[in-house]
Structure 1
Amino acid sequence: MADLARHPAHRYGNRPTMKDVAALAGVGLKTVSRVVNGEPGVTPDTERRVREAVDVLGFRRNDSARVLRKGRTATVGLVLEDLADPFYGPLSRAVEEVARAHGALLINGSSAEDPGREQELALALCARRVDGLVIVPAGDDHRYLEPEMRAGVATVFVDRPAGRIDADAVLSDSFGGARDGVAHLIAHGHRGIGFIGDRPHVHTAAERLRGYRAAMEDAGLAVRDEWVSLGPTDPERVGSAVRGMLTAPEPVTALFAGNNRITVTAVRALAGHPRPVALVGFDDIELADLLGITVVAQDAAALGRTAAERLFRRLDGAEGPPERVVLGTTLLARGTGEVPPPAG
């Protein structure tokens, strides 16, 4: 390999080109292009020489010309509901991995559970000419995106469907998962089961409440009004709901928590309760396996990966009507969901 210090691209501080790589490796431009772009038709020895030249020169592929030829910016946007929610970590990472595999850069941001902020962020990303969007919606009216989608911005919704427009969506089976979790509590002898969920307009909260009611109805069990509480997931509201259900005229003997934040608060509220109370939560949480918390787990990484792969299929020309993909959940029995009701 030639001396780097004597190479013109290095000596004069110029950015190395494919010609420089070809000259240093002793191959043609087409060969360098094949190696850099991961195309077949290059022998292992030649590929090694080219990659060594790339490393020596510090060559970086310039995607600008490729982007112009394809009419794309090689960027996609991800709008999350809450970056602080641990559920979105693996989802975001999966989207980023798929984007990277397609040679695209991911730009993400949080709507902070505010529909206005979601719209502002999504349109700001469109203004920066992202090729596509993956959105965890905070709002329930996405007609503002119709002009962008008609202009060619591929859009896939994840975790919750779009509101008032037709668009691709990748969801977990919130209804089926909640029904299974509540049926698990019923199978362990519970008849008074409380449901604590997110705000009623949130799609996942409504679906999980529907699953709870279906399981109770399937077992021939009535649902008392004081056994259901929907609202913000802040600890004060959730803690109050837990205490109210445990001290009601007909107290519950088990709880179903509608998401990970509710489960965490419920665990804390139950820690000082004088009698055992069964608990099943929707979403896995950190240390749940060590603490013995029974959960209905959804695969956040699979949600993100499936949504991103659908996005890039659309960008590659896949046609057809919008699709809704529903991924299954898994009941993980670890102890709290198997606590029997008090005797008598």
Structure 2
Amino acid sequence: MPRAVDATGRSGRATMNDVAAHAGVSLKTVSRVVNGEAGVLPSTAERVSRSIAELGFRRNDSARQLRTGRAAGIGLILEDVADPFYSVLTRAVEQVVRSHNCLLLTGSCDDDPDREQELALALCSRRVDGLVIVPAATDHSYLRHEISVGVPVVFADRPPINLAADAVLADNFGGARAGVHHLLDRGHRRIGYLGDDPSIYTARERLNGYRRALADAGIEADERLIEMGRADPPSVRAALDRMLAAPNAATALFCGNNRLTMAVLRGLAGRIERPALVGFDDLELADLITPGLTVVAQDPAGLGRVAATLLFDRLAGLTVAPRRIVLPTTLVPRGSGEVPAP
């Protein structure tokens, strides 16, 4: 399978010249087929299309920019750029990318696996030099070809599935375990847990940390005090009504992410009896709530910065085995998690 040096000067990607030679046509003919222009016989267009598929050619939409000296591009795909957690992560990636005189192209996949794949392949077709992905997909083997032709990929926040690649994660298990231990140390034995969809890696890890902390204290988890799923207000209110009902009410709550923490705070508004509360992820203005919100804080800036640094290591030619880096979390006591058990 022929391969040549593309417009970026990096080997490993088929070019239009490769396709022309493989199909036995002129470069202009390949250009017309790639750009959907008229003037090509159907049989010739079919032959060119077969060569494109066999060679794994992708149109280099950024080649003109690179030839004129404009910065190369790095792609970033995450759940929702509007989420404060991902906004901080994005900013950190951007700072590293800028320091390497590159541009950052960002897309939100809304936790949709199909959208993630669509965005990733679209960015690769525009010849980004590498990708940082906060994954939603349950199978990342679709990226094997891209990696094999020289596009490094680094995963942040969640690890890849069915793909060997660098990953930067938070200590979800250890952070949740520490947060629940903090409540146990205040005498709480009935601790409710509200978490995200358990199919999500971070949600599973945090739930496992919650269970381990209870087991450390010799407490069997009560499944009636565990709610995994959506963070919409009606669902959270229903979960709170169940968990806080006498006679075996939860005296403390642990929330698995910032969206759930916000929904719980709204659900608790107006209640006379307020359980102790610890949330995973920090919130803006969390110190201004009364009492201040105790959290297990991640480091989204660290996740973004380290992920981008690993990516540029690969672009610089590093060929070591895929790396997995786990960043620590920090317990931040502010008052809500220090309420003693009744």
Q: Which amino acid aligns with 2:319?
A: E
The runs of 4+ residues in structure 1 deviating greater than 6 Å are none
| Offset of residue 165 of structure 1 | 1.1
Deviation track 1:126-166 (CA, whole Å, cap 9, x = no partner) reads 11110000000112211111111111111000000001111
Conservation of the 8 A alpha-carbon contact between 2:81 and 2:90: no
Return the match for 2:240 from 239, 242, 246: 242
Conservation of the 8 A alpha-carbon contact between 1:226 and 1:248: no
- Specify the SS of the correspondent of 1:212: helix
| Range moving further from structure 2, 240-249 or 229-238 | 240-249
- Specify the SS of the correspondent of 1:256: strand
- Specify the SS of the correspondent of 2:182: helix
Q: Which amino acid aligns with 2:223?
A: D
The residue aligned with 2:144 is: 146
The residue aligned with 2:201 is: 203
The residue aligned with 2:112 is: 114
Q: Distance in 2 between matches of 1:124 and 1:93?
A: 22
User: 5 Å matches for 1:265-344?
Assistant: 265-291=263-289, 292-342=292-342
The residue aligned with 1:221 is: 219
Q: Distance in 2 between matches of 1:79 and 1:128?
A: 14
Conservation of the 8 A alpha-carbon contact between 1:276 and 1:339: no
The unaligned stretches of length 5 or more in structure 1 are: 1-61, 68-72
Q: Distance in 2 between matches of 1:286 and 1:235?
A: 20
Cα RMSD (Å): 1.4
Return the match for 1:193 from 181, 188, 191: 191
Conservation of the 8 A alpha-carbon contact between 1:243 and 1:269: no
| Range moving further from structure 2, 185-194 or 79-88 | 79-88
Q: Which amino acid aligns with 2:207?
A: L
Conservation of the 8 A alpha-carbon contact between 2:175 and 2:329: yes
Inter-CA distance 93–188: structure 2 relative to 1 (3 Å threshold): same
Q: Distance in 2 between matches of 1:142 and 1:241?
A: 34
| Offset of residue 335 of structure 1 | 0.4
Conservation of the 8 A alpha-carbon contact between 1:233 and 1:261: yes
Deviation track 1:22-52 (CA, whole Å, cap 9, x = no partner) reads xxxxxxxxxxxxxxxxxxxxxxxxxxxxxxx
Q: Distance in 1 between matches of 2:219 and 2:133?
A: 38
Q: Distance in 1 between matches of 2:283 and 2:151?
A: 34
Conservation of the 8 A alpha-carbon contact between 1:99 and 1:105: yes
The residue aligned with 1:64 is: 67
The residue aligned with 1:38 is: none
The residue aligned with 1:129 is: 127
Q: Distance in 2 between matches of 1:227 and 1:203?
A: 21
Q: Distance in 2 between matches of 1:328 and 1:211?
A: 14
Structure with larger Rg? 1
The unaligned stretches of length 5 or more in structure 2 are: 1-64
Return the match for 1:83 from 51, 72, 81: 81
TM-score by length of 2: 0.78
Conservation of the 8 A alpha-carbon contact between 1:134 and 1:308: yes
The residue aligned with 1:253 is: 251
- Specify the SS of the correspondent of 1:279: strand
Q: Which amino acid aligns with 2:84?
A: P
Q: Which amino acid aligns with 2:254?
A: F
Return the match for 2:210 from 209, 212, 218: 212
Q: Distance in 2 between matches of 1:165 and 1:190?
A: 42
Deviation track 1:60-118 (CA, whole Å, cap 9, x = no partner) reads xx963668xxxxx7100000111221101110000001000001100001001111111
- Specify the SS of the correspondent of 1:238: helix
Q: Distance in 2 between matches of 1:75 and 1:314?
A: 15
| Aligned residues between the structures | 276
Return the match for 1:180 from 175, 178, 181: 178
Q: Which amino acid aligns with 2:219?
A: L
The residue aligned with 1:31 is: none
Q: Distance in 2 between matches of 1:162 and 1:64?
A: 33
Q: Distance in 2 between matches of 1:241 and 1:153?
A: 45
TM-score by length of 1: 0.78
Deviation track 1:165-209 (CA, whole Å, cap 9, x = no partner) reads 111000000000000000000001100001100001100000000
Q: Which amino acid aligns with 2:299?
A: D
Q: Which amino acid aligns with 2:105?
A: I
- Specify the SS of the correspondent of 1:331: strand
Q: Distance in 1 between matches of 2:67 and 2:294?
A: 50
